[in-house]
A and B are shown apart, each in its own frame.
Chain A
Amino acid sequence: MTQQGSRRVRVLVVDDHAMFRSGVRTEIGDAVEVVGEAADVEEAVTAVVQLQPDVVLLDVHLPGGGGVEVLRRCAHQGVPARFLALSVSDAAQDVIGVIRAGARGYVTKTITGDELVAAIGRVADGDAVFSPRLAGFVLDAFAGAAEVPSVDPELDLLSAREREVMRLIARGYAYKEVARELFISVKTVETHVSSVLRKLQLSSRHELTAWAADRRLL
């Protein structure tokens, strides 16, 4: 968790449900500084540019094209803010979509306030936040990669270690528990997770995009 001096992490909450926004504000308001709220893509982009938050809590489904659209436009503007996707939707293709567009993690809206604050801290530090569900989606997306010859195997495959870390997270292990289980440091776990995130974002693997389309037919 970042506590650079006494400066608290500045957070922007983007969600189209006012009730949810105010709920989040009261839950995390003591631990972080909520600098603003936004209800759609247009407002969100303006707020990100003007308020310069450290972390943006971003709803996956948002009027104006969804969270992906916010990420895309903010990337154009080159803002330094980091994004944490927060959603009630379990649609895998949408979740993977925002991660590929640049979000550094995904948590569901049923997360407790303390966990959310911890996740915000991680994202502010530049680390990735993988919930069990996201780890499951990622394993799904990369499944069967070993059989497919590809242009850039480096990006298209998870290493054995990364796969192991993903599986443990999917099994409900916290980073600390993963570290103990594999006899590595928490920092190393974070490195693995960040590397998975990078592969997810950079891989142009045909299967990864086709996967999203296929999955809704499952």
Chain B
Amino acid sequence: MTTGAPSAADSTAADPDRPALRRRLDGRLLGGVAAGLADHLRLDVLHVRVAFALLSGIAGFGVALYGALWVVVPVESPTERAEAAGLAAASRAGRRPWRATRRGDLGQLVAFGAFGLGLVLLLNTVGAGLPLLVLVPLLIAAAGLALLWSQADATERARLLPPQLTPDGAARGGRAARLLTVVRVVGGLALVGVAVLVFLVGSGRQTAVGEALVLLVVVGLGLALVVGPLLWRLLRQLEDERRERLLTQQRADVAAHLHDSVLQTLALIQRKAQDPRAVVALARAQERDLRIWLFEPEAARRSTLRAELEDTAAQVEQAHGVPVEVVVVGDCPLDGRLPALVRAAREAMVNAARHSGAPVVDVFAECVGDSVEVFVRDRGKGFDPATVPADRMGLAGSVVGRMERHGGTARVRSAPGEGTEVSLSMPRPQPGAAATEEEDA
């Protein structure tokens, strides 16, 4: 099962962001176990499903494993994802589309089931499998339990989703939903009962002691399996509530802090109402602050090229009062010679903000493959590179010189009235190579 094609994620150092093992509600065939497992292990869902079907051939082991995981692994919840606060809030309020809880292809499920069953029967005819006496009740019981558990999932899903997005929500067919519940529970119980009966009737030839023992075990097992889901849900729910309470308190603190900072900015804006530049600068600084908090996940605020460039742009903007817009494609850790690249980009931004007279500076960075490119562009007055004025010597020295010292290249393109664009390019250290680069002051 080698599907893990070397993706962009592999090239960026370690990978702490493996998704937790959760049953997935969308794209599932049965309980979402295979889909969740595939996410967690970064495998193809199809391969995981085939593996389950294959394992089922070995005395129904796959079925048992699937059942066990279904019981133990909790279902995913929308709030559990490490989402930025603003997005999580928008999700809860139903202002974003909740990923459709679409089921996988039913035909696929039937195919897998038939495949697994075929394997079991094949092994049986060879004489290596379970006796039919055990197998048939086992399969019937499995079907019954699947029904019971799918009911438990339906209630949990209703609890997790915003009301208007619940697929079979109470808002729509309330009676139909209830009927479905009854059918599921009764059907599931009946199937488990039938399985127990079939087993007992079938094993009627056993000795009395053995029979009593088996009866005890089977009844106990059946009871545990039927009551188990309820108990398990209850425990999970308690745990969830505790966590929710903690989260609520945390959110209240953050909201309070946020409101304070916004209020302060608004007060400052009122006081500086005569100075439009100051007002714009204040508004943009506050906007950036909020935006980062609301829309950027915690993980993105690590020391990466993207974070560093955005930070630098914010500083330049604050110091010179000219908006600096940053667009970054891809991202990579800030290793090797990249700090030098960011410093060169900073010089270019400062130059544009200070001398071009342009109302805005655009920064674009692309971190794809084995090099990083940064473009700093303004639509200001520009200059003739052939007759460099004294104040532009800084650009040649600090940008071009710095880049060349660190093994990169820099190009300055400008013409009077056309604005200026500085293009920077720096090779990226290969993941294997030792990145030993001296820091320049």
What residues make up the interface of A, taking CB atoms closer than 8 Å to B?
16, 61-66, 68-69, 88-91, 94, 97, 110, 132-133, 135-136, 139-140, 143-144, 147-148, 167, 170-173, 214, 216-218
Contact = CB atoms under 8 A, between A and B. Distances in A.
For the complex of A and B, the 4 pairs showing the least CB-CB separation, nearest first, are A172-B362, A136-B327, A61-B95, A217-B17
B87 A91 contact: yes
B8 interface: yes
Given A66-B95, A68-B97, A97-B97, A170 B90 contact: no
Contacts of B295: 89-91
Given A91-B84, A91-B87, A172 B329 contact: no
Contact of B364 (A69, A90, A171, A216): A171
Interface of B: 5, 7-9, 17, 19, 81-84, 86-87, 90, 93-98, 164-165, 287, 291, 295-297, 299-300, 325, 327-331, 362, 364, 366, 368, 375, 377, 379, 421
A170 B82 contact: no
B303 to A, nearest CB: 13
A139 B297 CA distance: 20
Chain B, interface SS category: mixed
Chain A, interface SS category: loop
17 contacts: A16-B95, A61-B90, A64-B95, A65-B95, A66-B95, A89-B86, A90-B291, A90-B296, A91-B295, A136-B328, A139-B329, A140-B329, A144-B7, A147-B5, A171-B421, A217-B19, A218-B300
A170 B327 contact: yes
Contacts of B366: 139, 167
A88 B291 CA distance: 9
Contacts, number: 93
B350 to A, nearest CB: 17
A140 to B, nearest CB: 5
Given A65-B94, A89-B295, A170 B83 contact: no
Contact of A167 (B86, B331, B364): B364
Nearest to A112: B359
A108 B84 CA distance: 19
Given A135-B327, A139-B329, A66 B377 contact: no
B357 to A, nearest CB: 16
A88 B375 CA distance: 24
Contacts of B7: 144
Given A66-B97, A214-B9, A216-B83, A132 B325 contact: yes
Contacts of B86: 89
A63 B327 contact: no
Contact of A216 (B81, B93, B96, B287): B81
Contacts of B94: 63-65
A132 B327 contact: yes
A30 B368 CA distance: 44
Contacts of A94: 87, 96
A171 B376 CA distance: 8
A198 B90 CA distance: 28
Contacts of A132: 325, 327, 362, 364
Contacts of A172: 325, 362, 364, 377, 379
Contacts of A61: 90, 95-96
Contact of B95 (A62, A90, A135, A143): A62
Nearest to B6: A147
A132 to B, nearest CB: 5
A84 B83 CA distance: 26
Contacts of B331: 218
Nearest to A69: B97
A16 B93 CA distance: 12
A200 to B, nearest CB: 15
A162 B23 CA distance: 39
Nearest to B7: A144
Contact of A136 (B82, B97, B364): B364
A16 B98 CA distance: 18
B271 to A, nearest CB: 22
Contacts of B368: 143-144
Contact of B299 (A66, A147, A217): A217
Contacts of B328: 136
A65 B164 CA distance: 8
A170 B93 contact: no
Nearest to A92: B295
A189 B221 CA distance: 69
B327 to A, nearest CB: 4
A167 B362 CA distance: 12
B375 A171 contact: yes
Contacts of A144: 7-8, 368
Contacts of A16: 95
